Amino acid sequence: MSVLVVDVGTSSVRAGVVRPDGAVEHVHQRAVLPESPMPGFVQFDAAVMADAVLDVARAALADAGGAVDAVGIANQRASTIVWDRATGRPVGPGIGWQDLRTVGMCLMLQGQGVRLAPNASATKLAVLLDIADVDRTRDLCFGTVDTWVAWTLSGGEVHVTDATNAAVTGLVHGDASGWAAHVLEALQIPESVLPAIVDSSGVVGPASALPGAPPIAGMAGDQQASLVGQGCVRPGLAKVTFGTGGMLDVCVGPTRPAFDVRGEGGCFPIVAWRRAGADTWGIEAVMLSAGSCVEWLRDDMGLIATAAESDELAASVASSGDVWFVPALLGLGTPTWDFGARGTLLGLTRGTGRAEVVRAVLEGIAHRGADLVEAAEADGQVRIERLRVDGGMSANATFVQALADAVQRPVEVSPVLEATTLGAAYLAGMAVGVWAGEDDIAAAWSPRRTVEPARRTQRERWREAVERAKGAVPELSALDF
């Protein structure tokens, strides 16, 4: 038995086959890069994405001998595509989740009592409809990337989105039970363009564009897929994915968190997954800059030649020499949500060298990880005993040790660098009997290594540094979505 997974990230599309023991095999990947035609715009060619999806899926199936029991989909969330129902052709560019062209629209909607963030799908969809269908008479389809992939794999037979993706569009009721009429009315979005909301784990139709037409049986946004992929299927189990940014997700169970949009700790309620019509809820905390800070050290500052070098160079010194770095290159997310905060480097002396600065950057990202843990525990009313990590920075041993020190609890490193593929496979596999249920998923977790705290860090000094970083651009600090 096995599951084919199509995993669509921000810059690439990959497919692989997951075996019952969790092994990921026959991986094929193609770059599908977004473009930025002007500041604040992030868009992509959805037709190119569809071609890549079919290419890598067919290649992985061919390598696997052509037979799988199900197909799972994991995807970048909130990116928005509109296409013609009859032809299946996109009517404009896909608008990426990072796109900020609708900031002004979001601010105006607040005056109407409609609170939307520019990274959600809602206002992106309104923009695409205004471009392609001003009078709202064309027969068009809207979808996030999971919807587009399912449509592509099914040959246009399936128009659905799962609850994890629907919940971050800004277009649904708080419990993701259905589309919110007042938001649709405010944005003049006809309900006819919207997909059906389905379970994250459950058969929705055949992937008839693939040999053998295996059933599409699992769909989840990337962070929820990573949560499931790291076995965080019981209350209090949490993971952080350290990629360009950092996303902490913690499972809180069947009861929705008490707050509607954002908790006092700066976290968001999310549908972690939906199975057999029942939701498991989670809390999400957001770090806007993580791996991007290492890229800054490499590409802009020239302090390291490769991202991997940051590990070796930081490990060459015992400490940062009391240098502190606040990774706020794009502002601060959870818990403060200050878009006007800026990256801050404090404590430099004549004796500060490259190694100390690089170590300070890694430790600053680790402290932000600890901020996310504290916020998620407060908003979710759970205790996170151990922290699981994946993403590119999970391969950096110096960083992982700094994280364990900052959070003062064990850090378990994922056996695969990106756990999204594994999570989508688990969701699809549960629907067709490859795995019996969440207990099997929990039991399958086997970290590559566990890192224990080795020293106590100065969290009060860290908080002082964060205060110095706040409010650097007052007009941006005043924004709140």
Is 170 within a domain? yes
The CATH number that applies at residue 38 is 3.30.420.40
Residues 202 and 331 in one domain: no
Is 423 within a domain? no
- Would the pTM count as exceeding 0.85? yes
To which residue do tokens 């959805």 refer? 46
Evaluate if residue 265 carries a pLDDT over 90: yes
Evaluate if residue 178 carries a pLDDT over 90: yes
Tally of structural domains, the chain: 2
Nearest Cα to 3, choosing from 196, 220, 190? 220
The domain boundary residue, chosen from 204, 222, 240: 222
Is 432 within a domain? no
Nearest Cα to 380, choosing from 253, 271, 289, 200? 253
The domain boundary residue, chosen from 188, 222, 256: 222
Is 199 within a domain? yes
What distance in Å separates the CA atoms of residue 480 and residue 107, rounded to the nearest whole number? 9
Evaluate if residue 18 carries a pLDDT over 90: yes
Residues 181 and 318 in one domain: no
Residues 242 and 170 in one domain: no
157-172: average pLDDT: 97
71-80: average pLDDT: 97
218-239: average pLDDT: 98
Evaluate if residue 174 carries a pLDDT over 90: no
Residues 178 and 286 in one domain: no
303-311: average pLDDT: 97
Nearest Cα to 251, choosing from 230, 268, 221, 272? 272
pLDDT value, residue 82 = 98
* Phi and psi at residue 435, to the nearest 5°: -125, 140
pLDDT value, residue 66 = 83
Is 460 within a domain? yes
pLDDT value, residue 261 = 87
Residues 213 and 248 in one domain: no
435-454: average pLDDT: 96
318-342: average pLDDT: 97
Residues 256 and 382 in one domain: yes
Q: Given pLDDT bands bounded at 50, 70 and 90, which one contains residue 176?
A: confident
Kindly report the three-state secondary structure assignment for every residue of the chain. Answer: CCEEEEEECCCEEEEEEECCCCCEEEEEEEECCCECCCCCCCEECHHHHHHHHHHHHHHHHHHCCCCCCEEEEEECCCCEEEEECCCCCECCCEECCCCCCCHHHHHHHHCCCCCCCCCCHHHHHHHHHHHHCCCCCCCEEEECHHHHHHHHHCCCCCCEEEHHHHCCCCCECCCCCCECHHHHHHHCCCHHHCCEEECCEEEEEECCCCCCCCEEEEEEEHHHHHHHHCCCCCCCCEEEEECCCEEEEEEEECCCCCCCCCCCCCCEEEEEEEECCEEEEEEEEEECCCHHHHHHHHHHCCCCCCCCHHHHHHHCCCCCCCCEEECCECEECCCCCECCCCCEEECCCCCCCHHHHHHHHHHHHHHHHHHHHHHHHHHHCCCCCCEEEECHHHHCHHHHHHHHHHHCCCEEECCCCCCHHHHHHHHHHHHHCCCCCHHHHHHHCCCCEEECCCCCCCHHHHHHHHHHHCCCCHHHHCCCC
Structure tokens at 190: 């006809």
Helix axis angle, 46-63 to 145-153, nearest 10°: 60
Evaluate if residue 453 carries a pLDDT over 90: yes
pLDDT value, residue 239 = 98
Residues 267 and 150 in one domain: no
pLDDT value, residue 213 = 97
Is 439 within a domain? no
Between 174-178, 197-201, 357-361, 422-426, the lowest mean confidence (pLDDT) is in: 174-178
Evaluate if residue 260 carries a pLDDT over 90: no
Please report, rounded to a whole number, the percentage of residues in the chain having pLDDT higher than 90: 95
Structural domain including 53 reads 3-222
pLDDT value, residue 194 = 98
> Tens digit of pLDDT for each residue in 185-207?
999 999 999 999 999 999 999 99
* Phi and psi at residue 413, to the nearest 5°: -90, 130
Residues 217 and 246 in one domain: no
pLDDT value, residue 23 = 93
Evaluate if residue 56 carries a pLDDT over 90: yes
Q: What is the mean pLDDT of the chain?
A: 96
Residues 268 and 251 in one domain: yes
Nearest Cα to 426, choosing from 416, 435, 418, 439? 435
Residues 55 and 142 in one domain: yes
Residues 25 and 157 in one domain: yes
Residues 45 and 168 in one domain: yes
Is 69 within a domain? yes
What distance in Å separates the CA atoms of residue 246 and residue 359, rounded to the nearest whole number? 18
The domain boundary residue, chosen from 199, 222, 245: 222
Is 429 within a domain? no
